[in-house]
Structure 1
C-alpha cells in the first residue's frame, strides 16, 4: 500500500524525523502485507496505536480536539496518497 516516501506531501513540511518515521512505518506495513495481514486490519491497528499514543502523551481532550480537525483535512485530500501536488 505504501510506496517509499516520494518527497511530496504533508510530511515534507514537518521535516526529516517525520519523513523517516513514515518510511519505517511503510516498510513495516509492506512486510505485514507480504505476510498476509489484511490492509484493513493494518489500518485499524495503526489508528488504534496512534490514538492510544496521543492520549498517553497529550490526554483525552487534546486528542479529541486533534481528531475533530481530521474530517476537513481528509476531505481536502491531505491524506490521499494518490493526490497530485502542483
Structure 2
C-alpha cells in the first residue's frame, strides 16, 4: 500500500505532467496561428524532446525507451482521431 506521502508525490507528478502538456499545446496553437506548418512543429518537438531526454539519460537509455514506439504507434496509442474504414 502506498503511503500518503507517496500518493501526494504521485498526484504532484500528475499535475506537473498535465501542466507541461498544457504548455506544449498552448505553444503549438500559437505556432499554428503564426503560420508554422504542423509537420514542422512535430519534427521540431520530437527533436527537442529526444535531445533533452538524451542529455538527461544518455543515448543508450533513450534508444531502449523509444525502441517500442513503432509497436505503440501501430496499435493506435498516439492516434487521437479514428477514421472509419
Residue 64 in structure 1 maps to residue 63 in structure 2 = yes
> 1:54-81 CA deviation, whole Å, 9 max, x = no partner?
1000000001011111111111111112
Structure with more contact order per residue of length (Cα contacts < 8 Å, sep ≥ 6)? 1
Please list every run of 5 or more consecutive structure 1 residues that lacks an aligned counterpart in the other structure: 1-13
Question: If each structure's helix is expressed as a fraction of its own residues, which one has the higher value?
Answer: 2
Task: Give the number of the structure whose alpha-carbon radius of gyration is greater.
Answer: 2
SS of alignment partner, residue 15 of structure 1: helix
Count residues with an aligned counterpart.
70
Extract unaligned runs of 5+ from structure 2: 1-12
Instruction: Give TM-score, length-normalised by structure 2.
Output: 0.76
User: Runs of 4 or more off by more than 2 Å in structure 1?
Assistant: none
